[in-house]
Chains A and B, each alone.
Chain A
Amino acid sequence: MKRPVFIISGVVIILILIAIWVYMLFFGSPKNADDTFADLNLGDTTDTSYIENTDTTDGEAVVDLSSPDRLRQLTTKPVIGFNEFVKDASSTPAILYVEAGTGHVFSIDLETGEESRLSGTTIPSSQEAEITPNGKYIMYRSGEGSGRTYLVGTISSTTNELSTSDLDESIISFSATNDNHFLYAVKTQNSTIGKSYNPEDKTSKTLFTLPFRDATIDWGSTASDSHFAYPKTTSKLESFLFKIDSTKISRLPIDGYGMSASGNNDLVIYSKQDNGEYKTFFYNISEDLVTKHVLTTIPEKCAFSTNNSELVICAQSTINNNLNIPDSWYSGETYFADSIWQTTLAGSATMLINTESESGRELDIVDIDLGVDDKNIYFLNKNDKTLWLYERVQSLSNPS
């Protein structure tokens, strides 16, 4: 084929293509507006009407409290302190909690499930907190180790801010009381000093002095209640239990390897290594009588009823590797999927709920707290520090 013919043919083809493109660009619109350009069969409607969003909750979280389930997870974020709060007889109860890390304070209405933030003031590296029952004061631990600090915050009724005041002491343990004070312990060179703090006037008062430093203290409900103290627990060294009433410290006949305890004015529940086995006991203070508990559990997983001093709620799982308990639980090597039990000094034990079968989760229960009139059982899951509620139908004195 001759070269000029080839070139002419190519130019003609290009001109035709350009003409088609121009036509499509300026004159290629569909005559019928209802035609669809491409039907990929993705949607099932051609309705173009606008549906207005009628959600009026302003983005506030709502916890589902309406389902018939009695075991509920109240938070997905880790919690470092909580307390049930009832403003007055006509108010619905609420649960106040402090978020880990930020120290922000939230409230969940237990009737509606509505959650609101009471304080947006950030307390950096918040690790531990206690809230007074009146919902007004919070004691915080911020940071860990030698860099930790302690402060008391006051929740404002009008703003979202928390006013704080520092406690410049080497605090090792603290708790809120039923009369809206704080109890705390300070470690010195050779001793541990127990004190009471009044957040109203920001004053402290010394309650007692223990002649050893590495102490675990189980605080009473008020400064005048019985408190219990013992050298920190390890399965390899002996601990001894002391009862503190006002300024008097008396030794109870409770001691042993791996011993830890919790008590009220009438009763102590304690566990220890006994002949190669980890066992749990009751000690009746007034009768000076020790009885074996029907369950084996770690006393840190128990809480006493406020209505019945001989009734104890405990979280419990089968404990294997007895000899290393509770050390391996403290270090996190051992963890549990607990059931919640109601037990009495008389020897009865009733399982209230198997949390694993109910929730499908392994809940290693700590910080059990019984709400007003023992109606609700609150606790944290040690694995992720989320806050949970087990709602009872009746108070514990009349178990359902």
Chain B
Amino acid sequence: MRKLFIFTFLISGFLVNTAFAQIGSSIINPELNIELQPEFPRPGEVVTATLNDYSGGTYGSNVSWVLDGQVVTEALNQRSTQFTAGAVGVNQKIEVVLSKPQGGKEVLERTVKPVYLDIVIEPQTRVPNFYLGRSLPSIGSIVNATALVSTDTFMDPDLVYTWRLNQTVLNGGPIRGLNQVSFTTPRGGEMVLYLQVTDTKGNVIVKRAVSIPSVEPTLKFYEVNQLFGTSHRPIVGSLALIGNSVTVQAEPFNLDSRVYNNPDLSEWKINGVNSGNVGGNPYEVTLQRVGFSGYSNLQFHVRDTTQVLQGARDSIQINF
């Protein structure tokens, strides 16, 4: 019985050692592993693999790196190496072989499967109709984020998504199929949106963090031709009134759409005096030359004072 017990103990110890050699991030020794940066690279992205040995158990070992079976000669006895992530959806295996001075080897490995995780940020803020680009978030504005996981085509969105905005987990936690979220832009110059995507068994497929800037809404003024529409060049500083009248449009940039569509305050001022806007468009004013020449200050102010609490104000000079 005692012999059986000793034999079983020896066999178990041998198996543990063997098992230990095959595990990259070991349950037995989590201080010995390969760290990848980024952990879930995109195809073609440069990845840095680093040997972490916090226990010091491999002191004096010969270190060699192997990528997909090929030895990386320039990384001999280096604690880190770089490689380029392969094609989308194709597995790559990075290994590090530790040849100990007292004999024996320890092999750690990680598998990389490049996948695209694109997070499309769509702020619900306003830019002019002719503006070809995307608007930016401003404090208090709503932002929609859509996650697109793709290999050679879009993956089935029926995965499990865990969204986090700064330190706050959105929607209470991981939710299956939730590849779109909306959130309010918090205070500060930027925010970080984290996303982890797993399969329904909890295996992490990919994760990413994106930094999203937050800007102040601004105003630009554009001249409007009643026949041809809005000019695409802003009025910078001053506008010379050549004819008898001119129509000027104030275009907010990155103003929350709710504020733009229903502002609590929108007013034009000429030389500090409120100007009654009789037209249907509160963002447009028509100026007419009367009498003598000179110049005036034209100011526009739009603001929400109840909900979103944001606005924009700016002015130009009109020479007539």
Interface residues of chain A, those whose CB is within 8 Å of chain B, are: 78, 100-102, 125, 127, 144-145, 148, 190, 211-214, 216, 231-234, 236-238, 240, 248-251, 253, 255, 300, 326-327, 330-333, 335, 382-383, 385
Per the 8 Å Cβ criterion, residues 216-232 of B in contact with A are: 220, 222, 225, 227-232
From A255, A331, A385, give the contact of B131 (CB < 8 A): A331
Per the 8 Å Cβ criterion, residues 88-132 of B in contact with A are: 88, 116, 118-122, 128-132
Interface centre among A78, A145, A214 (most CB of B within 10 A): A214
Is B152 part of the contact surface with A, judged by Cβ < 8 Å? yes
Query: Is there contact, CB below 8 Å, between B232 and A332?
Result: yes
A231 to B128, alpha carbons, bound, how many Å?
Answer: 17
Query: Which chain B residues border A127 with CB–CB below 8 Å?
Result: 229
Which residue of chain A has its CB nearest to the CB of B212? A237
Which residue of chain A has its CB nearest to the CB of B129? A144
Is B133 part of the contact surface with A, judged by Cβ < 8 Å? yes
Query: Which chain A residues border B52 with CB–CB below 8 Å?
Result: none
From A100, A125, A253, A326, give the contact of B133 (CB < 8 A): A326
From B119, B136, B146, give the contact of A234 (CB < 8 A): B136
Is B174 part of the contact surface with A, judged by Cβ < 8 Å? no
Is B43 part of the contact surface with A, judged by Cβ < 8 Å? yes
Is B253 part of the contact surface with A, judged by Cβ < 8 Å? yes
A248 to B153, alpha carbons, bound, how many Å?
Answer: 7
A149, chain B: closest CB distance, angstroms:
14
Is B38 part of the contact surface with A, judged by Cβ < 8 Å? no
Query: Is there contact, CB below 8 Å, between A332 and B133?
Result: no
Which residue of chain B has its CB nearest to the CB of A102? B227
Known contacts A212-B120, A212-B146: A101-B229 contact under CB 8 Å: yes
List the 6 shortest-distance A-B pairs measured between CB atoms, nearest first: A232-B134, A101-B227, A332-B233, A234-B134, A144-B129, A212-B120
Query: Is there contact, CB below 8 Å, between A214 and B134?
Result: yes
Which residue of chain A has its CB nearest to the CB of B253? A331
Q: How many A-B residue pairs have CB under 8 A?
A: 104
Query: Is there contact, CB below 8 Å, between B133 and A144?
Result: no
From B44, B121, B220, B228, give the contact of A253 (CB < 8 A): B44
B99, chain A: closest CB distance, angstroms:
37
Is B59 part of the contact surface with A, judged by Cβ < 8 Å? no
A148 to B230, alpha carbons, bound, how many Å?
Answer: 14
A387, chain B: closest CB distance, angstroms:
14
B interface, size bucket: 35 or more
A361 to B153, alpha carbons, bound, how many Å?
Answer: 47
A383 to B234, alpha carbons, bound, how many Å?
Answer: 11
A300 to B157, alpha carbons, bound, how many Å?
Answer: 32
A147, chain B: closest CB distance, angstroms:
10
From A100, A249, A330, give the contact of B153 (CB < 8 A): A249
Is B238 part of the contact surface with A, judged by Cβ < 8 Å? no
A211 to B179, alpha carbons, bound, how many Å?
Answer: 10
Query: Which chain A residues border B148 with CB–CB below 8 Å?
Result: 211-212, 240, 251
Query: Is there contact, CB below 8 Å, between B136 and A236?
Result: yes
Query: Is there contact, CB below 8 Å, between B228 and A78?
Result: yes
A236 to B121, alpha carbons, bound, how many Å?
Answer: 11
Query: Which chain B residues border A233 with CB–CB below 8 Å?
Result: 132-134
From A102, A144, A240, A333, give the contact of B116 (CB < 8 A): A240
Query: Which chain A residues border B215 with CB–CB below 8 Å?
Result: 236
B115, chain A: closest CB distance, angstroms:
10
Query: Is there contact, CB below 8 Å, between A211 and B154?
Result: yes
Query: Which chain A residues border B42 with CB–CB below 8 Å?
Result: 253, 255
From A211, A231, A253, A255, give the contact of B134 (CB < 8 A): A231
Query: Which chain A residues border B233 with CB–CB below 8 Å?
Result: 332, 335, 383
A180, chain B: closest CB distance, angstroms:
27
B259, chain A: closest CB distance, angstroms:
16
From A212, A250, A326, give the contact of B122 (CB < 8 A): A212
Is B150 part of the contact surface with A, judged by Cβ < 8 Å? yes
Which residue of chain B has its CB nearest to the CB of A232? B134
Query: Is there contact, CB below 8 Å, between B44 and A211?
Result: no
Query: Is there contact, CB below 8 Å, between B220 and A240?
Result: no
B312, chain A: closest CB distance, angstroms:
14
Query: Is there contact, CB below 8 Å, between B129 and A145?
Result: yes
Is B210 part of the contact surface with A, judged by Cβ < 8 Å? yes
Is B57 part of the contact surface with A, judged by Cβ < 8 Å? no
Which residue of chain A has its CB nearest to the CB of B215? A236
Query: Is there contact, CB below 8 Å, between A237 and B136?
Result: yes
Query: Is there contact, CB below 8 Å, between B116 and A251?
Result: yes
Contact with A along B297-319 (1 / 0, CB 8 A): 00000000000000000000000
Query: Which chain A residues border B153 with CB–CB below 8 Å?
Result: 248-250
Query: Which chain A residues border B43 with CB–CB below 8 Å?
Result: 253
Query: Which chain A residues border B230 with CB–CB below 8 Å?
Result: 144
A296 to B14, alpha carbons, bound, how many Å?
Answer: 62
Query: Is there contact, CB below 8 Å, between B154 and A231?
Result: no
A232 to B122, alpha carbons, bound, how many Å?
Answer: 9
Known contacts A211-B154, A238-B210: A144-B134 contact under CB 8 Å: no
Is B213 part of the contact surface with A, judged by Cβ < 8 Å? yes
A383 to B232, alpha carbons, bound, how many Å?
Answer: 7
Query: Is there contact, CB below 8 Å, between A101 and B133?
Result: no
From A78, A232, A236, A237, give the contact of B132 (CB < 8 A): A232
Is B180 part of the contact surface with A, judged by Cβ < 8 Å? yes
Query: Which chain A residues border B180 with CB–CB below 8 Å?
Result: 190
Query: Which chain A residues border B213 with CB–CB below 8 Å?
Result: 236-237
Query: Is there contact, CB below 8 Å, between B229 and A100?
Result: yes
Which residue of chain B has its CB nearest to the CB of A300? B132
Query: Which chain B residues border A211 with CB–CB below 8 Å?
Result: 146, 148, 154, 157
Query: Which chain B residues border A212 with CB–CB below 8 Å?
Result: 120, 122, 146, 148
